[in-house]
């Protein structure tokens, strides 16, 4: 699993823009930025939609005021699902949604989660990290509750 002090690895995530789906390599895209980067197993699930994401969207101004340049969320869904989730939750314009449809980047980070036994396929563990200029400052994983990876815990708000 990626640790504090390590550079983000190369990888491809996708996001939907007005120009269509584009690829984002976090290892390059986060360079020169202070980013709060968090991930959820899946969009539209109860904990992710009702607890985890709202902590970041509702506090986006306070997070940015603490010196962050970007709030980014990754889930193991496609870019269209992430876009729909963003619009339906009010995250649009506040949180950059990044799709890891086949959990390849989750595996690269060492945070992949096999949920085949409940019919959800490969996902990512619930995580949050602070990334400064492409280097992980802090890394948090929540196994069940949403405590260590919340906006309050991760960003100190």
* CATH number of the structural domain spanning residue 140: 3.40.30.10
Q: Domain for residue 51, yes or no? A: yes
What is the structure's pLDDT at 99?
98
Active-site residue, 76 included = no
Q: What is the pLDDT of residues 111-128, one digit of tens each?
A: 998 887 887 777 899 999
**7, part of any domain:** no
Q: Is residue 69 helix, strand or coil?
A: coil
Q: How far is 156 from 119, CA to CA, in rounded Å?
A: 35
Q: What integer pLDDT is reported at residue 88 of this predicted model?
A: 96
Q: What is the pTM of this model?
A: 0.95
Say if 3 falls within a structural domain. no
Total domains present in the chain: 1
Instruction: Identify the pLDDT of residue 68.
Output: 98
Please report whether residue 35 resides in a domain: yes
Predicted local confidence at residue 114, as pLDDT = 80
Determine contact, residues 126/39, Cβ cutoff 8 Å.
yes
Residue 15 pairs in a beta bridge with 22
**31: containing domain:** 13-155
Give me the phi and psi of 107, to 5 degrees please: -65, -40
Domain presence at residue 118: yes
Choose the catalytic residue: 48, 76, 124, 155: 48
113 within domain boundaries: yes
> What number of other Cβ atoms are within 10 A of residue 103's Cβ?
21
> What does the pLDDT look like over 15-70, one tens digit per residue?
999 999 999 999 999 999 999 999 999 999 877 778 789 999 999 999 999 999 99
């Amino acid at each position: 699993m990626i640790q504090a002090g390590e550079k983000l690895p190369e990888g491809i995530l996708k996001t939907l823009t007005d120009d269509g789906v584009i690829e984002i390599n976090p290892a390059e895209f986060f360079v020169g930025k202070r980013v709060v980067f968090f991930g959820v197993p899946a969009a539209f699930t109860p904990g992710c939609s009702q607890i985890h994401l709202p902590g970041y969207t509702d506090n986006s101004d306070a997070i940015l005021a603490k010196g962050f340049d970007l709030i980014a969320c990754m889930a193991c869904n496609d870019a269209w699902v992430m876009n729909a989730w963003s619009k339906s939750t009010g995250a649009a314009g506040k949180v950059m949604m990044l799709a890891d449809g086949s959990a390849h980047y989750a595996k690269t980070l060492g945070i992949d989660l096999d949920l085949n036994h409940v019919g959800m396929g490969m996902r990512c563990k619930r995580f949050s990290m602070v990334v400064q200029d492409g280097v992980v400052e802090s890394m948090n994983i929540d196994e069940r509750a949403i405590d260590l990876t919340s906006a309050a815990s991760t960003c100190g708000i």
